[in-house]
Structure 1
């Protein structure tokens, strides 16, 4: 069986919209893939502002943005299809953009109405992959472990360095996954205070000094001692992280928070005695962060080619759409903590 799908991913760090067109093949129980075309569309300033401020909107304004962003996604896909002259597409799988994520209160919201995407493109669309899991008592995250298991099982673990760092690994023949710590959601915001969109190569952090008192406070946050499964959201950062960073010079805050992220990530590697870990996500380009992680662990850090670094999440959401299309399991309860494995997503 062969399927062609487009995966759409908008990360919490608002780097842009990732679009990945891939071929998936299934032989028996084994899946393989090929990324055919992929690109990131940086958000225009207007859209970045809208998405960043979405958490503060009224219910009516948020519903309006939900529809508007859905049409925006559809238009972006149409442009992508035309640019690369893509002819055969079985489906579009859209993650949407996360506004709220509070699984303990039984809700999560990713805006970008899939019905609007379908109206714009005329193609089948599968969206809203997280809500069902949250209603089933899960964290609604991480979802990518199903792709790690089916496409990248040759590595001991897979780590994504995006807005948050999250890991998935096999323990006793069961795939577990959890968020480790915030990364770009914090580093990018600090860099913006210095007029930069992000801390390129970690150079700003490298120029700062580590504040040992702040580092101790960050490492002492209760989340890091909680058992998995567990996940993080912007609300947690607003409550627990940003208040600690208010009265410190930006380069020092960057240096300290980078050290903090490295400490938490390396601790997980060491705890599970991981031989090798596949790194993906924008944070993989942060050389200073990678150096800091390497200095704290003997685990081999595998850095793949650009396509996998940048589009692995969009690729896996495309796979999740294909799995949903075939009524196959695409969410692992061992990763999210929900009642049982299930096939999630709403079909438009």
Structure 2
């Protein structure tokens, strides 16, 4: 069966509350082929920042009672659908025939068997005028998985030239392609959520290029307190909720008497070593082995000090080459959502058990026909 071409819109709403990323992607698909996805392209992409009102409402969503939470769910679906329709209406190239939407995560408790992402699919589909796939984690959780990370689906299908992957978003997560082509993956800790909160204490939306962190000094006892949080000791696979970042990690950092600059430097140092600890057992073997290329994406990939610190950190060897290529850094997750929607539409697995800990690969997503 020859590959068929499908143009899909992916919409990603991240935990850092900066806005929604939209990417129109065209995929060559053949379910019977060894490589289910052949050539693919990002045809158009854009980021729509959240207005202050939406950022505040979403930040407070975990505190809402049932009725206002459901109202917010529907209203967010309509808002995202209208923004996506405006974006699609300006396209010059191929128009999408399907959309996927990750939604804004409010609750994520896989151990208790549930996850919730806001942005009602029927409202979004009606506003956009396309079939829409939402709820991309629940089937994996029902199969005993973490419902996260989803990124290895894109790593498997779209980025075969890499074996290491790192996402520096609101939460930092990684994945490694094993020799048998399965994945080890998991969330590591908070990331941009924490750095942005600290930068706002200095009147900045975020720490541009890591300048504040670069000017700080590491604080040993703060570093130990961060590392001692129980989540950081758990084995993989594991995943984080935004509530853990806000309720467990942030108070440890917020309440320490160090300066903002020193807190940022300490946190960057912690993140860098945590990443290295996760990746290092999977480094290339042999003294003459070349460093393993690691694809770095997410908002934190724009933090120059963080990237420089990753490149500079090593033990007895320089085991990794962290790469943040233009065109992929900001829209990998939106492309992932587009891919997950396409796979769901064709009844193909879009979550990998080797990465999430589920009993099997699963087909995730609710389809709203539009």
Q: Is residue 9–residue 95 contact of structure 1 (8 Å, CA) maintained in 2?
A: yes
Q: Does 1:9 align with 2:12?
A: yes
CA distance in 1, matches of 2:248, 2:52: 28
RMSD: 1.4
Corresponding residue for residue 146 of structure 2: 139
Structure 1 residue 300, shift from structure 2 partner: 3.2
Structure 1 residue 87, shift from structure 2 partner: 5.3
CA distance in 2, matches of 1:45, 1:146: 33
Structure 1 residue 86, shift from structure 2 partner: 5.4
TM-score (norm 1): 0.96
Q: Does 1:99 align with 2:102?
A: no
Would the alpha carbon gap of residues 146 and 132 (structure 1) be closer, same or farther in structure 2, given more than 3 Å must change?
Answer: same
Structure 1 residue 210, shift from structure 2 partner: 1.1
CA distance in 1, matches of 2:108, 2:326: 29
Structure 1 residue 181, shift from structure 2 partner: 1.9
Q: Which runs of 5+ in 1 are unaligned?
A: none
Corresponding residue for residue 37 of structure 1: 44
Corresponding residue for residue 278 of structure 1: 295
Would the alpha carbon gap of residues 272 and 260 (structure 1) be closer, same or farther in structure 2, given more than 3 Å must change?
Answer: same
Q: Deviations over 1:148-194 (max 9, x none)?
A: 01111221211111011111112241122111221101111111121
Q: Does 1:167 align with 2:174?
A: yes
Corresponding residue for residue 247 of structure 1: 256
Q: Deviations over 1:289-328 (max 9, x none)?
A: 1122222232333424332000001001100111111111
CA distance in 2, matches of 1:75, 1:301: 40
TM-score (norm 2): 0.91
Of the structure 1 ranges 218-227 and 143-152, higher mean CA displacement relative to structure 2 is found in: 218-227
CA distance in 2, matches of 1:235, 1:88: 37
CA distance in 2, matches of 1:93, 1:318: 5
Equivalent residue of 1:307, what SS?
coil
Equivalent residue of 2:265, what SS?
helix
Corresponding residue for residue 66 of structure 1: 73
Would the alpha carbon gap of residues 323 and 152 (structure 1) be closer, same or farther in structure 2, given more than 3 Å must change?
Answer: same
Which residue among 319, 332, 347 is the counterpart of 1:299?
A: 319
Equivalent residue of 1:241, what SS?
helix
Q: Is residue 146–residue 332 contact of structure 1 (8 Å, CA) maintained in 2?
A: yes
Equivalent residue of 2:358, what SS?
coil
Of the structure 1 ranges 255-264 and 84-93, higher mean CA displacement relative to structure 2 is found in: 84-93
Q: How does 1:225-264 map to 2 (within 5 A)?
A: 225-245=233-253, 246-248=255-257, 249-264=259-274
Structure 1 residue 238, shift from structure 2 partner: 2.9
Corresponding residue for residue 308 of structure 1: 328
Q: Does 1:324 align with 2:340?
A: no
Q: Does 1:222 align with 2:230?
A: yes
Q: Deviations over 1:16-58 (max 9, x none)?
A: 1100001001353322210000011111111111111111111
Structure 1 residue 85, shift from structure 2 partner: 4.1
CA distance in 2, matches of 1:179, 1:5: 27
Q: Deviations over 1:73-101 (max 9, x none)?
A: 10011110112245532200000000111
The aligned length equals 348
CA distance in 2, matches of 1:304, 1:257: 21
Q: Which runs of 5+ in 2 are unaligned?
A: 285-291
Structure 1 residue 241, shift from structure 2 partner: 1.3
CA distance in 1, matches of 2:323, 2:78: 35
Would the alpha carbon gap of residues 87 and 23 (structure 1) be closer, same or farther in structure 2, given more than 3 Å must change?
Answer: closer
Which residue among 263, 266, 290 is the counterpart of 2:307?
A: 290
